[in-house]
């Protein structure tokens, strides 16, 4: 066999070099049929498959090769690379470790091993490997740069900066290190320096699309949307198919109410998502997207950015506690819309039945509201400087039964915490108005209006219907005693005041058409909007004029420092006009609490049904319309029939204290009933199911 084997092997190599791949493959297979353990044939055939892009077949052959000769480092290395390319990261890590046992000075293997450890969430080990690599070669600029990125994941931003500085000292023209240095500076809140570093990276490498994208994202974070759009344009010039940049560019334009080419850009983005391009799920909520679009977008994002850990921290144990342990994880346990909507819930939790912990991912608690928020928990843990791995470990160490995420796809979300499965039950609530698409969330809190049963299929989580509304309200919110005069607010003394205090990105040409028709139909009326951005204000006034409405009939309310004062000025409006497809959420709650009726149109997605949920819970279903034509007609009727609008306001005033929307204690009991139902199912070893809670708090479990 030896002679024939050598002849076939020689023939295979000749065929391969000549590009006759089919003939080469046949020759390798003939050898392996007779000698299944032939290392050379298995290894060369594996490399042949890898070169042809058939990674699965390559892995099978390379596994056979390393089994035949376990001490060949190159075979392990090529197997590890192929495993990494197919996202078999755990097995790749084992292969890299074996290489380092054979050859501890194999720098590429150690670097790749560290990177693989990062991908599977073993951050501490990754840092050890990068450290060992630097010890082996203290002049390796790449090693310092790579360790810097790992240190960023560990939230050790100052240490990361030191490594980037060392990388740049070793290689002064190192654009990647400058870009990464910018990321660390951004995380430290030093945005001016961060932008300077992005610009340095771009100066060194003008085609550095990631640096342009980072600069664009920084500008957007600083609300410099015009600069952000210009930077996104550079990204797209370099990478025309970059769905992230296209998505964020559109979002920046929406923030400016720049509706040029709006319909085409929206259609293009939706088509890209439907064809499998990842985009930012939060942006999808404000677009005319379907529930199916939103689920697809969320899953694409999670699959790319944060798939579930292969080694969950919780292994199925049943915890034995006197009280159910609930941890709320959020960057918004502060003066933020989410904080305002949840602090009452936290204060009303039944401490005899629930041990409630806050895991705060932000700072800024040293305010009157921040101190109130901190006091609403038994344990308030400041974890913003901790890594995902550390926070997940903390949750596991404390044996938390239920962990509730209040961020979702919003700024500062940390999905890596939940991907590690640190607790038996994971719940998504409030921060993001839609499905996470993540397999590591078990439940989403909602209600019958927001997620009707026919929509369950578009949620990766099991849906829990709270009995009244999924929206919690703080009935301890003060409203300023003094109502500013209309003249102080820039409003007409006698004209009808339509109002919408939503963020700019929720406004769109379709809604604006309706609003301008209302102004045109009602003499002396004005539309009172939030002054979100000077450019947005200019653009909205231009849009009004394009529709034949004088620009001065749009009045813009500046920000005020005290929420109580903001609520008080609602009294000078006559009717709040809701938006679609993304409703007013906190702003609806504010308006109703201040006694201002809200006119809404029921949408098809979670984000477009929230106002309807609140209106139902405060006994005003008559203000829920089902089409924009009905919405417009009802708005006109409410203006033209003052007695009807007066009756609605009187009803709202009476219902505020009697109906569920502003009964904070009742809401807390509903949420606790949901947690108890989840906990009971978990203790019985059951998989999560949909659940509907009655007004009394009992649960009726639904289907799979």
pLDDT tens readout for residues 221-266: 999 999 999 999 999 999 999 999 999 999 999 999 999 999 999 9
pLDDT band at 702 (very low <50, low <70, confident <90, very high): low
Q: d(Cα 520, Cα 380) in Å, to the nearest integer?
A: 52
Q: Which residues pair with 499 in a beta bridge?
A: 528, 576
pLDDT tens readout for residues 188-211: 999 999 999 999 999 999 999 999
Name 418's Cβ contacts closer than 8 Å, sequence gap at least 6: 392, 403, 405, 426, 438, 440, 441
In degrees, to the nearest 5, what angle opens at C-alpha 505 toward C-alphas 500 and 508?
Answer: 75
pLDDT tens readout for residues 373-402: 999 999 999 999 999 999 999 999 999 999
What is the Cα 570 distance to its own chain's centre?
Answer: 31
Strands 462-465 and 691-693 turn out to be parallel
Mean pLDDT over 87-107 rounds to 93
What is the Cα 43 distance to its own chain's centre?
Answer: 43
* 3-state helix, strand and coil shares in percent for the chain, rounded to the nearest 5: 55, 10, 35
pLDDT at residue 368 in the model: 92
For every residue of 611-624, DSSP letters joined together read HHHHHHHTT-GGGE
pLDDT tens readout for residues 457-473: 999 999 999 999 999 99
The candidate with the shortest Cα–Cα distance to 187, out of 232, 227, 217, is: 217
* CB-based burial label for 696 (10 Å; 0-12, 13-18, 19+): exposed
The candidate with the shortest Cα–Cα distance to 617, out of 598, 636, 640, 634, is: 598
pLDDT at residue 3 in the model: 65
CATH of domain 486-662: 3.40.50.2000
The candidate with the shortest Cα–Cα distance to 521, out of 542, 547, 555, is: 547
The candidate with the shortest Cα–Cα distance to 2, out of 36, 31, 37, 45, is: 31
**Look-up of token digits 């049904």:** 609
pLDDT at residue 16 in the model: 67
Please count the other Cβ atoms lying within 10 Å of the Cβ belonging to residue 446.
26
Mean pLDDT over 627-638 rounds to 98
pLDDT value at 21 more than 70 = no
Q: Which residues pair with 359 in a beta bridge?
A: 329, 381
* CB-based burial label for 171 (10 Å; 0-12, 13-18, 19+): middle
Q: Number of C-alpha atoms within 13 angstroms, CB side, residue 181?
A: 25
Q: Would 311-475+670-704 and 486-662 be classified into the same CATH topology?
A: yes
Q: Where are the alpha helices (DSSP H) in 52-190?
A: 55-68, 73-85, 89-102, 107-119, 123-136, 141-153, 157-170, 175-187
Q: d(Cα 181, Cα 436) in Å, to the nearest integer?
A: 31
Q: Which residues pair with 380 in a beta bridge?
A: 358
Let me know: does 150 contact 184? Beta carbons within 8 Å.
Answer: no
Mean pLDDT over 570-590 rounds to 98
For every residue of 94-124, DSSP letters joined together read HHHHHHHHH-TT-HHHHHHHHHHHHHTT-HH
**Look-up of token digits 């919780």:** 314
pLDDT at residue 107 in the model: 93
Residue 159 corresponds to which tokens in the numbers above? 């240490």
Looking at domain 311-475+670-704, which of 3.40.50.11380, 3.40.50.620, 1.10.3470.10, 2.40.50.100 is its CATH number?
3.40.50.11380
Percent of the chain with pLDDT over 70: 95
Let me know: does 327 contact 398? Beta carbons within 8 Å.
Answer: yes
Mean pLDDT over 647-674 rounds to 97
Number of H-type helices and E-type strands within the chain:
31, 15
- Check if CATH label 1.25.40.10 holds for domain 207-305: yes
Q: How far is CA 63 from CA 46, 48, 71, 263, 634, in A?
A: 9, 14, 13, 52, 70
Q: Number of C-alpha atoms within 13 angstroms, CB side, residue 176?
A: 12
Query: Considering Cα of 234, then 240, then 242, then 248, what sign does the dihedral take?
Result: positive
pLDDT at residue 698 in the model: 55
For every residue of 586-606, DSSP letters joined together read HHHHHHHHTT--EEEE--SSG
pLDDT value at 276 more than 60 = yes
**Domain extent listing, the chain:** 207-305, 311-475+670-704, 486-662
Let me know: does 408 contact 432? Beta carbons within 8 Å.
Answer: yes
What is the Cα 271 distance to its own chain's centre?
Answer: 21
**Look-up of token digits 């000075």:** 105
Q: How far is CA 662 from CA 470, 508, 655, in A?
A: 12, 30, 9
Q: d(Cα 51, Cα 596) in Å, to the nearest integer?
A: 67
Q: d(Cα 140, Cα 142) in Å, to the nearest integer?
A: 5
The candidate with the shortest Cα–Cα distance to 583, out of 688, 477, 695, 469, is: 469
Q: d(Cα 226, Cα 252) in Å, to the nearest integer?
A: 8
């Amino acid at each position: 066999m030896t002679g024939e084997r050598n002849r076939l092997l020689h023939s295979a190599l000749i065929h391969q070099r000549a590009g006759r791949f089919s003939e080469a493959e046949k020759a390798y297979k003939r050898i392996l049929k007779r000698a299944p353990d032939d290392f050379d044939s298995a290894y060369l055939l594996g490399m042949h498959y890898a070169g042809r892009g058939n990674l699965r077949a390559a892995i099978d052959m390379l596994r056979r090769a390393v089994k035949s000769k376990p001490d060949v480092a190159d075979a392990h290395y090529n197997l590890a690379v192929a495993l990494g390319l197919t996202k078999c990261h755990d097995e790749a890590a084992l292969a890299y470790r074996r290489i380092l046992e054979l050859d501890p000075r194999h720098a590429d293997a150690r670097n790749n091993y560290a990177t693989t450890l990062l991908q599977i969430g073993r951050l501490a080990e990754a840092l050890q490997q990068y450290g060992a690599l630097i010890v082996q070669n203290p002049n390796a600029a790449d090693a310092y740069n790579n360790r810097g990125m790992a240190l960023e994941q560990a939230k050790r931003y100052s240490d990361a900066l030191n490594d980037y500085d060392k990388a740049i000292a070793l290689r002064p023209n190192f654009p990647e290190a400058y870009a990464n240095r910018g990321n660390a500076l951004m995380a430290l809140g030093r945005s001016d320096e961060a932008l300077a570093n992005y610009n340095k990276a771009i100066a060194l490498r003008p085609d550095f699309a990631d640096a342009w994208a980072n600069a664009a994202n920084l500008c957007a974070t600083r609300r410099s949307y015009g600069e952000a759009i210009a930077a996104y344009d550079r990204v797209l010039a370099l990478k025309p198919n970059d769905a992230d940049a296209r998505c964020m560019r559109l979002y920046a334009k929406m923030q400016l109410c720049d509706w040029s080419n709006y319909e085409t850009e929206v259609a293009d983005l939706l088509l890209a998502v439907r064809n499998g391009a990842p985009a930012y799920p939060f942006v999808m909520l404000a677009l005319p997207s379907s529930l199916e679009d939103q689920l697809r977008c969320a899953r694409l994002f999670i699959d790319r950015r944060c798939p579930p850990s292969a080694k969950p921290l919780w292994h199925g144990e049943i915890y034995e506690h006197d009280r159910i342990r609930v941890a709320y994880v959020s960057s918004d346990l502060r003066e933020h819309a989410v904080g305002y909507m949840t602090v009452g819930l936290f204060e009303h939790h039944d401490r005899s039945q629930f041990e409630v912990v806050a895991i705060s991912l932000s700072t800024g608690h040293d305010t009157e509201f921040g101190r109130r928020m901190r006091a609403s928990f038994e344990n308030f843990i400041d974890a913003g400087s901790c890594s995902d791995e550390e926070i997940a470990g903390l949750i596991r160490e404390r044996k938390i039964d239920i962990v509730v995420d209040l961020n979702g796809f919003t700024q500062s979300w940390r999905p890596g915490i939940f991907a590690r499965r640190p607790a038996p039950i994971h719940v998504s609530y409030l921060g993001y108005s839609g499905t996470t698409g993540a397999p590591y969330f078990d439940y989403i809190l909602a209600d019958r209006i927001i997620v009707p049963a026919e929509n369950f299929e578009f949620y990766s989580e099991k849906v829990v219907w709270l009995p009244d509304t999924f929206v919690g309200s703080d009935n301890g919110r003060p409203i300023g005693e003094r109502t500013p005069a209309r003249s102080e607010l820039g409003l007409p003394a006698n004209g009808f005041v339509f109002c919408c205090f939503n963020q700019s990105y929720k406004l769109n040409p379709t809604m604006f058409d309706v609003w301008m028709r209302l102004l045109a139909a009602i003499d002396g009326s004005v539309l009172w909007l939030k002054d979100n951005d000077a450019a947005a204000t200019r653009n909205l006034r231009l849009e009004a004029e394009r529709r034949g409405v004088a620009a001065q009939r749009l009045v813009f309310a500046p920000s005020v420092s005290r929420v109580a004062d903001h609520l008080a000025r609602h009294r000078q409006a006559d009717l709040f006009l809701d938006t679609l497809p993304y409703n007013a959420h906190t702003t609806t709650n504010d308006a109703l609490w201040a006694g201002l009726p809200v006119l809404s149109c029921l949408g098809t997605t979670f984000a477009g049904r929230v106002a309807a949920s609140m209106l139902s819970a405060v006994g005003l279903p008559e203000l829920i319309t089902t089409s924009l034509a009905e919405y417009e007609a009802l708005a006109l009727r409410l203006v033209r029939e003052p007695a009807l609008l007066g009756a609605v306001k009187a009803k709202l005033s009476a219902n505020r204290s009697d109906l569920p929307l502003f009964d904070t204690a009742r809401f807390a009991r509903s949420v606790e009933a949901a947690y108890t139902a989840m906990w009971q199912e978990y203790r019985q070893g059951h998989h999560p199911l949909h659940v509907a809670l009655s007004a009394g708090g009992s649960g009726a479990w639904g289907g799979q």
